[in-house]
Structure 1
Amino acid sequence: MSEPLLITVAPTGAETAKEDCPQLPTTPEEIAETARACQAAGAAMIHLHVRDGEHRPTLDLGLLREWVAAVRDASDLVVQLSTGGSVHDPLDQRLQVLDAEPDSCSLTMGTTNFGDDVFSNPWPFVCELYQLAQDRGVAPEFELFDLGQVHALTRLLDRYGLPAGGRVHVDLVMGVPGGMNGTTDALVAAVRDLPPQTTSWSATGIGRSTLAVMLASLSKGGHLRVGMEDVLTIARGVPVESNAQLVERAVAVGALAQRTPMTPQEARVLIGATG
């Protein structure tokens, strides 16, 4: 249980409107300050969804590059861009995310019912995105929303081999309406069935499942993703003040498990983003 703890912060997401949550970082300046504060609090990687000048989700390449540069100017965090965008973004635009030259990218292993919407990730798209990440030397983080996607990862790795960096890092996304439950039982089942090539894994608890998933992941030796993409309250009825506040809580809970926050450089080695 003494292994360093990777804490990834997902500060914005694509679902929450700025007008509903003014403290959500939705500009390059806000994301730069968020990156600086979250690294100081103990985060090593940042998972980015980009917003436009009207605070709406976008996959505009110029803005993607601007946000990546803003984070790199303000911090040493590993920059991971979401290739999911919003659930309404077309597949061809999602492939172009890698043109912004992130250190890492999310790679969701299948289509998921996402509340009332559908998060589309057909198998040919998954394969194309993975091969593009291999060619570009971008470290994928395989997002798994259910057990079917756990098994799909085995299929992908058996067909196309390891990522360019030789590491297989997974994030279990739990508690999404339509995906696997945010429970210890679900986490144990998913970890049990991860491919043997897996070198590290983290877990994300959405909404009310945040703490349950955090504690289950730590007890099983996993890493953590936290942030305002995933939860907007710090306690029942108490709004989150900042993403750094969520990182600080993860650090405190990790300390109880005798896990020290990983540095960004250690995170690069962990996920194979050292190119």
Structure 2
Amino acid sequence: MSRFLRPPAGTMITVAPTGAESRRADVPNLPTTPEEIAAEAAACERAGAAMVHVHVRDAEHAPTLDLPRVRETLAAVREACGLVVQLSTGGSVHDPLDARLAVLDAEPDSCSLTLGTVNFGDDVFMNPWGFVVDLFRAARERGIVPEFEVFDLGQLATLRRLLDREGLPAGGKVHVDLVMGVPGGMPGTADTLVACVAALPPEVTSWSATGIGRSHLTVLAAALAAGGHLRVGMEDVLVWSRGPEGAVPVGSNADLVARAAGVATQLQRPPLPVAAARELLGLDAARASVA
């Protein structure tokens, strides 16, 4: 049966509040300290989010994979809210591969796992095959559920290769996020999203989509229509709307979550509570596998 015929009853909303690209000097309301990220996560939970995708910043607001700082940030988020905590293993495009693997020692519930190297604006986001396998194995050994990030259609063939070689991840579920609209990656269009959904391996149990920049609302609407879940946040979009008087900046991550939750509710796919998101992702089974 087509994935389009039975959309899920609810929508898991992930919020990506910070990212590694925007500078605090350019975006004064970007949360960068552990306390700010935690407060933003709590506000997003109230607005309808179920998972938070965390990038960590240092005391000067620059991206960092420093493990004590990562642990501090994750602890602050967990103290402030009940969201599923997903840690970015991408860091910034300049971070070395060994440091990106090491952040799993902070023991998040979930981690991102990008399935291939991609041009990222003027830079290159490196994810060679050996690193993909190492990250998959390290996450499974720790009972951490990966979210497979796809920046281009061909990376779904890599997912097929990975599952054939390594089997299922911790928890037995396979969740994919389609990251669309990155300069150098696949475009953020409805046609591209439909092509990706058609190419998902049958082992995929859930998927979401992220629209970067101007593609944000197009991807949001297309993902909901196609039965997917959503990722929103100031990592991905900083402009709320555009009009005759210019661009209106995003006020907060909670505003983006609330808008996504409102659209999802109107389409009779209201936000999933955290407990349902944990079940969707197989988090409890993943933890039990290493207990």
TM-score range, shorter chain: over 0.9
Q: Equivalent residue of 1:231, what SS?
A: coil
Q: Which residue of 1 aligns with 2:258?
A: 248
The answer to whether the Cα contact below 8 Å between 2:113 and 2:132 also exists between their aligned partners in 1 is yes
Which of the numbers 236, 253, 258 marks the counterpart of 2:268? Answer: 258
Q: Distance in 2 between matches of 1:128 and 1:216?
A: 33
Q: Which residue of 2 aligns with 1:141?
A: 147
Q: Equivalent residue of 1:18, what SS?
A: coil
Q: Equivalent residue of 2:154, what SS?
A: helix
Q: Which residue of 1 aligns with 2:4?
A: none
Q: Does 2:280 match 1:270?
A: yes
Which of the numbers 16, 19, 24 marks the counterpart of 2:25? Answer: 19
What's the TM-score once normalised by structure 1's chain length? Answer: 0.99
Q: Does 2:31 match 1:60?
A: no
Structure 1: which amino acid aligns with 2:248?
V
- 1:1-275 matches, within 5 Å, as 1=7, 3-236=9-242, 237-274=247-284, 275=287
Q: Distance in 1 between matches of 2:75 and 2:274?
A: 16
Q: Equivalent residue of 2:25, what SS?
A: helix
The answer to whether the Cα contact below 8 Å between 2:110 and 2:144 also exists between their aligned partners in 1 is yes
The answer to whether the Cα contact below 8 Å between 2:48 and 2:258 also exists between their aligned partners in 1 is yes
Q: Distance in 2 between matches of 1:227 and 1:8?
A: 8
1:96-133: CA deviation from partner (whole Å, max 9, x where unpaired): 01000000000000000000000000000000000111
Q: Distance in 1 between matches of 2:62 and 2:183?
A: 23
Aligned length: 275
Runs of 4+ in 1 over 2 A off after TM superposition: none
Q: CA deviation at 1:179?
A: 0.5
Q: CA deviation at 1:272?
A: 1.4
Q: CA deviation at 1:265?
A: 1.4
Q: Distance in 1 between matches of 2:283 and 2:62?
A: 29
The answer to whether the Cα contact below 8 Å between 1:2 and 1:258 also exists between their aligned partners in 2 is no
1:29-66: CA deviation from partner (whole Å, max 9, x where unpaired): 10111011000000000000000000000000001101
Q: Distance in 2 between matches of 1:37 and 1:69?
A: 16
The answer to whether the Cα contact below 8 Å between 1:9 and 1:47 also exists between their aligned partners in 2 is yes
Structure 2: which amino acid aligns with 1:259?
R
Could you list the runs of 5+ residues in structure 2 that have no partner in the other structure?
1-6
Q: Distance in 1 between matches of 2:273 and 2:102?
A: 29
Q: Distance in 2 between matches of 1:160 and 1:201?
A: 20
The answer to whether the Cα contact below 8 Å between 2:8 and 2:227 also exists between their aligned partners in 1 is no
The answer to whether the Cα contact below 8 Å between 1:50 and 1:67 also exists between their aligned partners in 2 is yes
1:153-208: CA deviation from partner (whole Å, max 9, x where unpaired): 01100100001100000000000001001001000001100111000000000000
Q: Distance in 2 between matches of 1:202 and 1:2?
A: 12
Q: Distance in 2 between matches of 1:137 and 1:27?
A: 27
Q: CA deviation at 1:2?
A: 5.6
Q: Distance in 2 between matches of 1:252 and 1:9?
A: 15
Could you list the runs of 5+ residues in structure 1 that have no partner in the other structure?
none
Q: Equivalent residue of 2:202, what SS?
A: coil
What's the % identity of the aligned pairs? 67
**Structure 1 residues 170 and 2: alpha-carbon distance in aligned structure 2, compared to 1, 3 A threshold:** closer
